[in-house]
A and B are shown apart, each in its own frame.
Chain A
Amino acid sequence: MSLASTILASDALLPARNQMALSLGWHIILACFGMAFPAMIFVVHRRGLRGDDAALELAKRWSKVAGVLFAIGAVSGTILSFELGLLWPGLMRTYGDVVGLAFALEGISFFTEAIFLGIYVYGWGRLPGRLHIMMLVPIMAAGLIGSFMVISVNAWMNAPTGFRLVDGVPVDVDPVAAIFNSAAPLQFLHMYLAAAMVVGFTIAGVYAMGWLRGRNDRLHHLGLVVPLAFAAIAAPLQPVVGHFAGQRLADEQPIKLAAMEGLTETTEAARLEVGGLWNGEELVGAIEIPVNGLLSFIATNEFDATVTGLDAVPPDERPPVGVVHIAFQTMVAIGTALVGVVAWFGFRWFRRHDRLFESQWLLRVLVAAGPAAIVAMETGWITTEVGRQPWIVHGLLRTEDAVTDAGYIWVTLAILVLVYGAMTLGAAAVIRSMSRRWRTGERDLISPYGPSLDEAAGGAEHHEAMVAP
């Protein structure tokens, strides 16, 4: 067989899972901005309306950045809806009408967001200030409702409900019960806090970089403090919400929890092990906390309770433990470190407010905190998604039975890697070029939603770009 026909005849499961992971993992970063950024823009815009010019300028800049990120997020989201049908026919054929209503409501939310963002970005200098800022309210509300709906579908895959199976066919479908499944509320809270952390730390990190380069003006002060305030509220709450989400797992998806903790055998009064690596059989190099029943307590609130281990199910119903374990441990480690960053910042805020940003080290750590928060969020998604395997719908439908039988998915995966790589570079280059132009004094940039050309004072470089194809 030639190489081409080998590739075309290969099994779709692995490439399809990788492609979905890439598309979702990429899209989710932009989705974070959709969820949390409008609230931050609202805060600075409100300050701006009360006479703080730096804050108003910041709101303008951020709204342009939001416009670009939103435009790219819209297309990567469209790809996801294609992929549901192209990669996972077995899921959509059987359960499309069970989970579909959530997607429809998300679609409406997204539409609302798109329209009001268009009005908001277009509205600078056109709408009166008090009306203009109110355009952010539907954007924020739609962002929350829309993300709840999408997360609720994912939560439904963990806790399927709202139907009864008769001969493998769902009957008595209750789409509203499917939306409000038992996993949805905590998963949504967990993700919303993650979004606030990702956006908060990332934007704060950008302005911390500015401080390190000596741009210590009011704009950089606000640009750092406002997003960081959001992250500072979210970061300490996140472990609490995560804890309760874990307790739901102990109840409803114990094997996922066992994989996260690397617990091989069902154990009474189980001890907690931290770190270590999975060698295919067991954890090696983990640190055991010498408190009897600590894991049992964390999972169930009782020290002597039994925690289900991997041995409770046959091997073909266990997820790939190594990936789940290391992803989970990474998420927890970074999340804990980020709480430490917040504590450090809080200490300086209250004790050294006059010299808040004189610590170069704090600024450097803040620069690193953004990427770290993204890694924590991605490893969190890897934990929940890989941890659900081999099921696509927990306990009911195996991923291998849901995947397409098309043989060419390696090809689409390879193309998507290239396309998303190019889009990442493009987005980075564009945002850098925006900030460079702002620094050279150009105020009004044209965005994809762009208001006017002649408001933009032209530098030579800018002028060139405007006449380009």
Chain B
Amino acid sequence: MSAADAVAAVMFSAVVLYSVFGGADFGSGVWDLTAGNALRGARTRRLIDHAIGPVWEANHVWLIFVLVFLWTGFPTAFVSIMQTLAIPFWLAGLGIVARGAGFAFRKFSPTLRWARIAGIVFATASLATPFFLGTIAGSIASGRVSTEPTGELWSSWLNPTSLLGGVLALAACTYLAGVLLTADATKLGEHDLAAELRPKVLIGGVITGAIALAGIPILLIDATDLADGLLTEGLPFALVSSAAGIVAMWQLWRRSYRRARISAAAAVASVLVAWGVAQYPWLLTQEATIDDAAGADPSLVGLLIATALAAAFVLPPLLYLLHLADSNRVGTLRPTR
């Protein structure tokens, strides 16, 4: 394994972690949007604030890691990707800003009116951002990024595989968030809220599975290299993903929500790993392998040292924060008096 391979592996792990943690964050915006009017949706919205508030920042730093590793480890590929997929990147960036500002501002809004506007901004942007990020993933996976950007601003991401990526990302985020929120509601003793969410989450799971199945013919026609990879090296992970998805649905059905959230996260993570394994050793399919695109060796080694530092200094407090956020919160969702 070369240094470039190791950097690519770390970078891809950050993609997976971002999809799970950031994805659950994004998905919660969809539940926020569909929670109903101010009065009816209040409890769901509080549950969402509660669930993602403390880990809000940490969930999104993964994206910065991915970008930094990409431009340091593979500078030319970074530029090709950004320039080819400029439109979805601009739109995702806009969504990230609108989402962060909307979420931060909502709680301190001077009036209900302001809170409503901030909330709509937050929720709408939560819907748009994973879609555009998903199209970016779809474009890269289907080999549409060339080392010599051709200036195809629209067809690079408005194509079957990219759109599949966008829709699947949105559905998976929503489903994952739904499972986590149901588990949280149960832990908080809000069993009626959990019961209200459960059928919707089950439907979300069926829809996500259906989109994934519908994607198979799309990939066979539109992204043959990816399809080949997924049917060979990637197959075990794709199968694990399907199995985990089915188990999650079963656990959800049995109201075993805490276990369901682990299975759902595993389903999302393993489908991404399947993609990564299927695409290896290409960074840009049929254009540049990971080794071709690698930047200067000392910088790659530097990145690996930085990774070790991060594992030593960042991981323990992150786990502690997640633990803090996860514990000691019973009863906090009761309406204000």
Chain A residues lying within 8 Å of B100, measured Cβ to Cβ, are 71-72, 74-75
Interface size on B, residues (CB 8 A): 92
Closest A residue to B110 using CB positions? A433
Question: Does B49 contact A170, Cβ atoms closer than 8 Å?
Answer: no
Give min CB distance, A180 to chain B, whole Å.
13
Known: A89-B82, A107-B68, A173-B298. A117 touches B108 (CB 8 A): no
Question: Which of A287-295, A304-312, A377-385, A450-458 forms contacts with chain B?
Answer: A450-458
CB <8 Å contact, A469 and B97: no
A247 within 8 A of B: no
Q: Which of B52-60, B266-274, B277-285 contacts A (4 or more CB under 8 A)?
A: B52-60
Contact A108/B97 with A96-B71, A100-B75 known, Cβ cut-off 8 Å: no
- Given A78-B63, A404-B83, are A118 and B54 also a contact pair (CB < 8 Å)? yes
B82 touches A86 (CB 8 A): yes
* 13 more CB-based (< 8 A) A-B contacts, given A86-B86, A107-B65: A72-B104, A82-B67, A96-B295, A106-B68, A115-B314, A118-B325, A123-B324, A175-B298, A454-B331, A461-B111, A465-B115, A469-B35, A469-B123
Residues A419 and B94 in contact, CB atoms below 8 Å apart: yes
Asked if A240 lies at the interface with its beta carbon under 8 angstroms from chain B, I say: no
A429 to B324, CA, bound (A): 30
**B13 CB–A CB distance under 8 Å:** no
How distant is the Cα of A76 from the Cα of B64 in the complex, in angstroms? 12
Select one of A419, A436, A448 contacting B103, CB under 8 A: A448
Task: Select one of B39, B60, B302, B333 contacting A175, CB under 8 A.
Answer: B302
Q: Select which of A92, A126, A170, A415 is within 8 A of B94 by beta carbon.
A: A415
B303 CB–A CB distance under 8 Å:
yes
Within 8 A of A (CB), among B240-288: none
Q: Are B107 and A78 in contact (CB under 8 A)?
A: no
* CB–CB A98/B299 < 8 A: yes
B317 interfacial contact with A, CB 8 Å: yes
A454 and B57 form a contact (CB under 8 A): no
Best-surrounded residue of A77, A85, A462 (most CB of chain B within 10 A): A85
Question: Are B78 and A79 in contact, CB atoms less than 8 angstroms apart?
Answer: no
Report B-chain residues with C-beta under 8 Å of the C-beta of A82: 67, 82, 89-90, 93
Q: Is the CB of A93 within 8 A of B60?
A: no
Which among A79, A96, A427, A463 has the highest number of chain B CB atoms within 10 Å?
A: A96
A94-149 interface with B by 8 A CB criterion: 94-98, 100-101, 103-108, 110-112, 114-119, 121-123, 126, 138
Q: Known: A68-B104, A115-B318, A454-B336. Contact between A101 and B56, CB under 8 A?
A: no
Q: Is A467 an interface residue (CB 8 A)?
A: yes
